[in-house]
Structure 1
Amino acid sequence: MHKPLLVTDFLDRARRHYADETAVVATTGERYTYDEFGERADRFSAFLQSVGVEEGDRVAVLDPNTHYQLEAAYGTMQVGAVHTPLNYRLTADDYAYILADAGVTAIYADHEYAHRVEEIRDEVPTETFVTNDADAVDGDWRSFDDELDAAGTGYDRPEMSEDDVVTINYTSGTTGDPKGVCRTHRAETLHSYLVTAHQDISDDDVYLWTLPMFHVNGWGHIYSITGNGATHVCTRGVDAESVFDAIQTEDVSYLCAAPTVLNMLMNYYDDHDGDVRTAGTNPVRAATAGAAPPESTLRTVEGEFGWTLMHVYGATETGPLITTSHSPRHLAGKSDDERFELMKRQGIGYLGTEVRVVDEDGADVPRDGSTIGEIVVRGNQVMDRYWNKPEATEEAFSERREGYYHMGDLATWDEDGFVAIQDRKKDIIISGGENISTIELEDVLYDHPEIAKAAVIPAPSEQWGETPKAVVVPTADATIDPDDVKAFVADRVANFKRITRVEFVDQLPETATGKVQKYELREREWEDEESMVGQG
């Protein structure tokens, strides 16, 4: 039997089996059952059709993690339109580019962010503008709740194919213009199944939204939490006190936490001398992605918070998740040092996901834990294509190994297939002909008790072409100087990998999901050079 895989099935299932259970805890205090959540999504569907939104049209959503985003997402997908979530940390010019590039027909924008869209509304093809507080927004904006009240619940759900594009997620734009990643019903559904399996999601979970819902549909959790009949706890931003408070008051069992969020929680914990309740009655598990968590983070989160920490890896183009280090059988029986070493790695491939590490010719590098190659992947959760960018799509799937998506990350893998990222292709430092991993150096820096954040970049060197430079955010009470930092690293790495330059800063440039935008640091460092690549 072949049954089409459609993302609308997730809310349909929850309404069928969990109608009276709490679906959403809103930031404003309301609680919606799955029956109520579903009705509001139906009303948004009816509203969209009333203003002329048709199957295949793009509908944008600009919202912090509130119930409106969940309702708008499902309301959009139920009429066969394409959900297009927007990063709420972008500028008006960014929105002008994305809305025009995607040809967005209608947009819902939270009242705190709508003014950025209002600035450029005459430059974009968008015709319908909706917000959750029209009185707080200048311009001609419709009220979300008023339109829902007027629309009724009746709408026509078209026949949809699992190969239809259902969402376009724009990349974070760490280099150049963001690209629209097109994902189908099938890809989203299978990715959600994988997240459910590997993150142990069940119907009694209470999920705290610390991860932006716009970011690859919140790693698929808008589907996984909904389809399992679990509870969404919404937020309007993240601060440590509110996270720990929500864990207590809502008995949160699961959250995702970017490295910046983990740092924030640990700093709050330290500032209160550990006198913080880190769990309610439910045991807590947290998924983290991005840079590998330093060992100090693992020891604090698991040893002192008492949480289970799962390190996962992926990219917007891949669902995003393709690997996990949460592998109890591989971790069992190991010492803390051995276990933490594995947990810092990106891990092994998800079910049905083929992850390889290949050389310049596309051949697998030895599984010896030391030979570096690029990560490539095949899986049902990988994107369909880039929106209106066929050449970029072709390159992404064929540069080294035909038919695999190329992650752009340089890594090793071991005999069990555990992948460990060493660097981005563009971030590797080539000094005097030697490859130096910036991630390896950053991991050393994070072991320093007076370093809060750090990024390592190549700096120009007449002698070596490039040389490692550390850009460091010290802790509030730090007394270190550049020489201290250099000496700390020199004691822990090979001579050719030593940090030769150090700059202290108040903060690092980051994307909304906590990724350090190293290209900004590199551009500043190399602005007086003819090229951003050394001749080492």
Structure 2
Amino acid sequence: MEKPLLVTDFLDRARRYYGSKEAVVATTRERYTYDELGDRADRFSAALQRYGVEKGDRVAVLDPNTHYHLEAAYGSMQVGAVHTPLNYRLVPADYEYILNDAGVDVVYADYEYAEKIEAIRDDVPTETFVTNDADAVEGEWLSFDEELADSAAYDRPEMDEGDVVTINYTSGTTGDPKGVCRTHRTETLHAYLVSMHQELADDDVYLWTLPMFHVNGWGHIYSVTGHGAKHVCTRGVDAADIFDAVRGEGVSYMCAAPTVLNLLMDHYDREGGVETTGANPVRVATAGAAPPEATIRTVEEEFGWYLMHVYGATETGPLITTSHARRFFDDDDPARFDLKKRQGIGYVGTDVRVVDENGEDVPRDGQTIGEIVVRGNQVMDRYWNKPEETEEAFSERLEGYYHMGDLAVVDENGFVTIQDRKKDIIISGGENISSIELEDTLFDHEAVGDVAVIPAPSEEWGESPKAFVVPANGDPADPGVTESDLLDYCRERIATFKVPKEIEFVAELPKTATGKVQKYELREKEWEDEDRMVGQG
């Protein structure tokens, strides 16, 4: 028998078996059962159809981790629309590009962020604008809750598992983000894998510290819902609030970038220790380049939490590997920290390889460096309207595999460990930052003659952007502009998290005979005291 894999099945199952059970703890501490969550999603589906939304139309969601995000996502997907979540840390120019690129028909925006959309609404094709507090927003916006007051009746169209159901925009190696197209099939299978490897169960209490916009919250908008587990929503990351939620709601599972773990440790130290668990034991997933061993040690030995390190990219679901492989370590063995720092082994059904420039597997010696490539059912369908970039992403070294852009080694057990990054991407606090976008921004300043941006080590963020600027007047001692001036210039043009943390004025940049900047030399200098040239988180 063959049954289509559809993401709508996750909420359908929760309503069928867990309808009377608590589904969501809102940021206001209102509580909704799965019956109530489902009814609100139905009413948003009906509203979308009243607006003229049809199967395949794009509906954007700009929201922190509130119950409105869940309702808007499922409400969109139930009518066959393409859920298009937006990073709430971007600036209006970014939204203008994305809304035009995706051809978005409807935007739901939280009241705190709606002004960013209002600033560009005349420059995008979007016709309908909805918010959760219309009185707090300038311009003509529909009220989410008032729209839900009408009928919950809607027509669910016939859907195929190959239909695109979500577009996630990611920073690329150029300034323009790319829309990662994910289908019902890829989303469903990824959610199954998350459920398996993160050991989800129906009695889990999941705390939303990971942004829901980030690859659909790593698929947790599906997996937590499908299990009938409980969502605890947040409006941001606050260490005291996280510990309060863990204790008060009995949180059992959360995802936390290394920067979030650092915030929690700082709070813990400042307070001289706090209660770190409630009614349930806590497990926490962290992703990317692992946090330092000291962080893992504190989380496990002082907080009493179990840490799982996972790895992936927006294009791959995101998750493709895990260091949560208990047959390779004992829970009380200090040697486990070294294994948990590695990106780990492939998820079930996921073919993860590290290959050389000829597409051949590197030896399992823990020393030979190659690029990570992956093939799996959770990997994206394509980039939205970018066939050439799609072709390149799947064919550069090894045909048919997505190329991660991370350079790594493999040990004798198949554990992957990232050593460096091939792409011009900086991953700071879990956010992708294009070094090329930063260079283009700085180069537009009249006092900048040349510029190169690289990742530099950061205790707080793992790595952060650093700019090397050759002044237009050629004099680094008297460049005609201050570091503060250039940082302010960047803040006016790009999202705050992308702004360099440091600018160094130099007389020249290292270049090849053909004039290409040798960023590797700059990175070697910055990372000479580190064991690898990639940030710890």
**Could you tell me the TM-score, scaled by structure 1's length?**
0.83
**Structure 1 runs not aligned, ≥5 long:** 429-437, 461-505
Counterpart position of 1:258: 257
Counterpart position of 1:455: 463
2:206–2:253: 8 Å Cα contact kept in structure 1?
Answer: yes
Residue 417 of structure 1 deviates from its aligned partner by 1.0
In structure 1, C-alpha distance between the alignment counterparts of 2:520 and 2:349, rounded to whole Å: 41
Residue 521 of structure 1 deviates from its aligned partner by 6.7
Residue 272 of structure 1 deviates from its aligned partner by 1.2
Counterpart position of 1:355: 352
1:79-478 map, 5 Å: 79-150=79-150, 152-173=151-172, 175-274=174-273, 276-332=274-330, 335-336=333-334, 338-426=335-423, 452=460, 455=463
1:207–1:230: 8 Å Cα contact kept in structure 2?
Answer: yes
**Could you tell me the TM-score, scaled by structure 2's length?**
0.83
Residue 423 of structure 1 deviates from its aligned partner by 1.0
1:67–1:234: 8 Å Cα contact kept in structure 2?
Answer: yes
Which digits, 9 at most, give the CA deviation of each residue in 1:14-72, with x for residues without a partner?
00000000000001121000000000000000000011000000000000000000000
Which digits, 9 at most, give the CA deviation of each residue in 1:186-222, with x for residues without a partner?
0000000000000010000000000000000000000
2:247–2:277: 8 Å Cα contact kept in structure 1?
Answer: yes
Residue 532 of structure 1 deviates from its aligned partner by 3.1
Aligned AA (2:369): I
Which digits, 9 at most, give the CA deviation of each residue in 1:228-270, with x for residues without a partner?
0000000011110000000111110000001110000000011
Counterpart position of 1:477: none
In structure 2, C-alpha distance between the alignment counterparts of 1:527 and 1:39, rounded to whole Å: 63
In structure 2, C-alpha distance between the alignment counterparts of 1:535 and 1:164, rounded to whole Å: 41
Aligned AA (1:455): E
CA gap of 1:146–1:344, structure 2 versus 1, over 3 A, is same
Which digits, 9 at most, give the CA deviation of each residue in 1:437-476, with x for residues without a partner?
x99x95xxx8xxxx5455388998xxxxxxxxxxxxxxxx
CA gap of 1:54–1:452, structure 2 versus 1, over 3 A, is closer
For 1:398, what is the secondary structure of its paired residue? coil
Would you say 1:12 and 2:9 are equivalent positions?
A: no
CA gap of 1:459–1:219, structure 2 versus 1, over 3 A, is closer
In structure 2, C-alpha distance between the alignment counterparts of 1:95 and 1:458, rounded to whole Å: 25
Aligned AA (2:398): R
CA gap of 1:526–1:153, structure 2 versus 1, over 3 A, is farther
RMSD across aligned positions (CA): 2.7
In structure 2, C-alpha distance between the alignment counterparts of 1:182 and 1:459, rounded to whole Å: 32
Aligned residues: 468
For 1:48, what is the secondary structure of its paired residue? helix
Residue 92 of structure 1 deviates from its aligned partner by 0.4
In structure 1, C-alpha distance between the alignment counterparts of 2:153 and 2:317, rounded to whole Å: 32
Residue 173 of structure 1 deviates from its aligned partner by 4.8
CA gap of 1:453–1:230, structure 2 versus 1, over 3 A, is closer
2:467–2:503: 8 Å Cα contact kept in structure 1?
Answer: no
1:62–1:108: 8 Å Cα contact kept in structure 2?
Answer: yes
For 1:69, what is the secondary structure of its paired residue? helix
For 1:156, what is the secondary structure of its paired residue? coil
Aligned AA (1:208): L
Aligned AA (1:295): E
1:167–1:184: 8 Å Cα contact kept in structure 2?
Answer: yes
For 2:107, what is the secondary structure of its paired residue? strand
In structure 2, C-alpha distance between the alignment counterparts of 1:14 and 1:535, rounded to whole Å: 50
Which digits, 9 at most, give the CA deviation of each residue in 1:271-304, with x for residues without a partner?
1122x01000200000001221101001100000
2:407–2:421: 8 Å Cα contact kept in structure 1?
Answer: yes
In structure 2, C-alpha distance between the alignment counterparts of 1:321 and 1:49, rounded to whole Å: 33
Residue 339 of structure 1 deviates from its aligned partner by 1.1
1:526–1:532: 8 Å Cα contact kept in structure 2?
Answer: no
1:427–1:457: 8 Å Cα contact kept in structure 2?
Answer: no
CA gap of 1:310–1:534, structure 2 versus 1, over 3 A, is closer
Residue 171 of structure 1 deviates from its aligned partner by 0.3
In structure 1, C-alpha distance between the alignment counterparts of 2:395 and 2:516, rounded to whole Å: 27
1:459–1:526: 8 Å Cα contact kept in structure 2?
Answer: no
**Structure 2 runs not aligned, ≥5 long:** 426-453, 469-486, 510-514, 522-537
For 2:372, what is the secondary structure of its paired residue? strand
In structure 2, C-alpha distance between the alignment counterparts of 1:142 and 1:459, rounded to whole Å: 43
In structure 1, C-alpha distance between the alignment counterparts of 2:220 and 2:213, rounded to whole Å: 11
In structure 2, C-alpha distance between the alignment counterparts of 1:248 and 1:334, rounded to whole Å: 24
In structure 2, C-alpha distance between the alignment counterparts of 1:526 and 1:339, rounded to whole Å: 43
Counterpart position of 2:517: 532
CA gap of 1:200–1:277, structure 2 versus 1, over 3 A, is same
Q: Once the two structures are aligned, what percentage of the paired residues are identical?
A: 71
CA gap of 1:526–1:65, structure 2 versus 1, over 3 A, is farther
